[in-house]
Structure 1
């Protein structure tokens, strides 16, 4: 009688093997492959990029609706997949090792929980440059910018992922009535971001009561690795939600 070998043990990746510096210059010319048009991602093959069907094995005819921009180590992205099982969420991360970690984490979660976590994926890209290469006009219903790099020096404010020129791009890919979420532990950055949103004609801020009624309110403040770090350091968290009008 033939002996059967035990299936390989699947373990979640350990972050200590994927450490990378916290900051990345989004203006520099990183080596990125990106689609020339969002339609490329729906073809059988997309040169140098995975198609949506490769990223989401059970996609069917669904399109990505949620984008976690600068997803870090993917804690909140995983929470999105658990909270909205019928929606496709994408994490977008510029750092090589960090995005590798999230991809390996998702692969391990899928192996550990067959049939689950098929609705989340991660790509390495520069969202400040190539966002519209991935999404069609009005495709997204939710966008998340959680604990973005504050780029404290005034000369580097142009590197901030929330700035007047980029808000128009976010308005382009976000459908009418869609929501954009920002969270930070830096009060000056919070004031910077909210002031630019308030000045933009395509966004209207939700009231505090409306923010608290959002199903993601507590998760935004607690589920990402950065949020947990802020909690350990007894820092403050500043949240704002804007509707695309």
Structure 2
């Protein structure tokens, strides 16, 4: 007599059932559109960014096919003679997007702005992708009674990648207007600090893909990590460049709606609120490129 199925088998059975419902709807059948359940997408809280995860990535931003991520914004070949193109570029990146709470919250606020979640953990990425698919389908069904609602959540997507290695492979120079680093892995042990998502080298890459005047938003519940990120973005750490970033003043943060969304809508932020923890926020603006000396 066989025992109860393990977690992996339950996850596969769940996904097959969801795919069956989707196939029925695509063929004109009926079926309730449900959001994915997190319990079928659980995995370890952290992933080693230095491991070989057998990832696929474009050789350059020009080689990236965005039409599968944002089909509602895809251009036809007749319009511009190019394949795999969309009518606008991705402007906002949520690095380490987790379960996608920030993307989902921002999508209705900026319906014409393309946003991308970037996550290293495979199961978590699958959850975000399935969540977006379900939200798009729910709003497409509701468009009969609410005109224009079908476009909701068409402007967000997610993919699995390692931004510590491949960020410039996705975005050209000065493409992004905003980058979010929400509750990154603190890597408490000193020998693990090299795996932190903020460093002198990585901050230079963020500066490369962010347009002058663009912003990097950071939030954490670990004070030491907050101080680390501030130190590195302000160029006080070894190898840092002070001319790349400047910290945004607190009065400006109080008037920034993105700070409020970041502080309240991510899963980690909600967990910190429930536990009565403190949130440390810092935002940095990309400086104008300095003139080259004669």
Give the TM-score normalised by the residue count of structure 2. Answer: 0.78
2:71 is aligned with 1:57? yes
C-alpha separation in 2, matches of 1:67 and 1:28: 23
SS where residue 129 of structure 2 aligns?
helix
Show the counterpart of 2:76. Answer: none
Show the counterpart of 1:45. Answer: none
C-alpha separation in 2, matches of 1:132 and 1:111: 32
Deviations 1:144-177 (A, max 9, x none): 0000000000000000000111100000000000
Deviations 1:48-75 (A, max 9, x none): xxx2111001224100000000000000
Show the counterpart of 1:196. Answer: 232
C-alpha separation in 2, matches of 1:40 and 1:16: 35
Show the counterpart of 2:223. Answer: 187
C-alpha separation in 1, matches of 2:52 and 2:101: 28
Structure exhibiting the larger radius of gyration computed from Cα positions = 2
In the TM superposition, structure 1's runs of 4+ consecutive aligned residues that sit over 4 Å from their partners are: none
Deviations 1:188-210 (A, max 9, x none): 00000001111132100110000
More relative contact order, 1 or 2 (CA 8 Å, 6+ apart):
1
C-alpha separation in 2, matches of 1:6 and 1:152: 51
Show the counterpart of 1:22. Answer: 45
Equivalent pairs counted in the alignment come to 232
* Structure 1 residue 6, shift from structure 2 partner: 5.3
C-alpha separation in 1, matches of 2:121 and 2:61: 22
Show the counterpart of 2:25. Answer: none
Structure 2, unaligned stretches of length 5 or more? 1-27, 74-85, 141-149, 236-240, 288-294
Deviations 1:22-70 (A, max 9, x none): 01110111110000010011xxxxxxxxx21110012241000000000
Q: State how 1:62-73 maps to structure 2 within 5 Å.
A: 62-73=88-99
SS where residue 55 of structure 1 aligns?
coil
SS where residue 252 of structure 2 aligns?
helix
Structure 1, unaligned stretches of length 5 or more? 42-50
C-alpha separation in 2, matches of 1:234 and 1:65: 33
SS where residue 11 of structure 1 aligns?
coil
Q: 1:231 aligns with which of 265, 273, 281?
A: 273
Show the counterpart of 1:131. Answer: 167
Show the counterpart of 2:105. Answer: 79
Q: State how 1:146-225 maps to structure 2 within 5 Å.
A: 146-199=182-235, 200=241, 201-225=243-267
Give the TM-score normalised by the residue count of structure 1. Answer: 0.93
SS where residue 91 of structure 1 aligns?
strand
2:144 is aligned with 1:118? no
C-alpha separation in 1, matches of 2:186 and 2:56: 26
Deviations 1:113-140 (A, max 9, x none): 0121100000000010000000000000
Show the counterpart of 1:240. Answer: 282
SS where residue 53 of structure 1 aligns?
coil
